[in-house]
Amino acid sequence: MATRRKKGIQAALPIVYGNETSKLPDDAPELQLGHTHQWTVYVRGPNGADIAHYVRKVVFRLHESFTNAVRTIEAPPFEVTETGWGEFEIVIAVHLHDFPERPIKLTHMLRLFPPEDQAVIDDPSRPDLLVMERYDEIVLNEPTEAFYDQFLQNISKTYPMTGPVWNRGAEVTEAEMLDRANIEVLRQMEELRRRIMEKDQGLARVKAELAAGAAMQGVLGDSAGRL
């Protein structure tokens, strides 16, 4: 059975992804392993918003020097905390409830040290904390109706699409064809009902005229008799 899609709708799903880092304290046992920092790589909602409405799981691919380098997080918070000594690129696959088979691939350069060419956000309450993150939006074209009804209808960021819709017609679902057939049957029934009503009204008019004629004849007959 074909999947029904919310035609003409784009949904923009906000996410924030990146990493937080702090230097390990002097008494941290991991220092023995040559580790210098603790970090957390994450995918979150902006300002703590819940992204589990649309995110089903997140897979983080770490550097191969980590044991179990592929970390799958199936529930929020979608994050991995580790200690280490070096910076590397993390591939992040965001699996949505819609299109779960087609994850959104992001890459994030894990930072332990503030890069010289970028502005750095400092949290005054934790002077040693470095945050490297970015805001992004996953844009879904024509989400499935089920996904839309369950997760998206309360998100204000759904927009009517303005561009051409290529799959119109080619992707007419069985249900849509039935809907159209139903509408046509209803239209034809309405037309028949209208024509029957017109005929009934015509018939009633003729009957009334006949009755009036007969009455008139009766009157005339009576008068003639009395003459």
Question: For ligand SLL, which residue of 63, 71, 131, 155 counts as binding (CB under 6 A)?
Answer: 63
Only one of the segments 53-61, 79-87, 137-145, 168-176 lies at the binding site for ligand SLL (rule: CB under 6 A); that segment is 79-87
CB of 26 to ligand SLL, least distance (A): 19
CB of 63 to ligand SLL, least distance (A): 4
Place of tokens 């994050």: 79
CB of 98 to ligand SLL, least distance (A): 34
Does residue number 65 form part of the binding site for ligand SLL (CB under 6 A)? yes
Question: For ligand SLL, which residue of 15, 18, 44, 84 counts as binding (CB under 6 A)?
Answer: 84
Does residue number 107 form part of the binding site for ligand SLL (CB under 6 A)? no
Residues 31-50 that bind ligand SLL (CB under 6 A): 33
Question: For ligand SLL, which residue of 57, 79, 88, 158 counts as binding (CB under 6 A)?
Answer: 88
Binding residues for ligand SLL, total number by CB under 6 A: 9
Q: Which residues bind ligand SLL (CB under 6 A)?
A: 33, 63, 65-66, 84-88
